[in-house]
Chains A and B, each alone.
Chain A
């Protein structure tokens, strides 16, 4: 069965600093990979997605992620964090054997300090 691990429960960065959120997955075939963001009390917004092609994918709000098959990772990055980026970030993997339902990591809570 597929699984997703987000090793960092909380991350604090200063505004303007760079950001990297880690995500590791376990899946036998080529995974469908996603990063979602959730602000407090809100629903989920898709940041970016990967299935095939270029392993560096660009998303909304200046985010990017790199798929590394050898490391089973799909880390999210942003060169310069803004205070409005403070939120919960979820990595997810979709699997063909369950109607492409998503298996989510537990999330990383991002705090941005002035």
Chain B
């Protein structure tokens, strides 16, 4: 049981390039989330999904897109990378019901130059 996995761990992008951050979970969790963490700040929600085929915007969705074709995977797409997207990205998942505890991946550190 690997939990929540994210790839890559680190990435440097040039301005205007695109990339996909991968997130997968093997816990059969319906809910999945993408957050970004900027220095000295807490995490901010980018997108979330309550099940395959269902996604919704969070607080800071501009410049990002997501898809959820399977329960296990929730990739985050960056189109036309900008320096403002330099951040650490965390994926998380949870089960509906109970306390909705979220399980976090190890993060992807992205630098856009």
Contacts and interface: CB of A to CB of B under 8 A. Distances in A.
B58 A98 contact: yes
Nearest to B40: A106
Interface residues of B, number: 27
A43 interface: yes
B101 A34 contact: yes
A102 B101 CA distance: 10
B61 interface: no
B82 interface: no
Interface range, A side: 20 to 34
A46 interface: yes
Given A43-B105, A100-B94, A90 B31 contact: no
Interface string B28-56: 00010101000011111100111000001
A46 B101 contact: yes
Contact of B42 (A49, A100, A101, A106): A106
B74 interface: no
List the 6 shortest-distance A-B pairs measured between CB atoms, nearest first: A104-B42, A100-B100, A44-B104, A104-B43, A51-B99, A99-B48
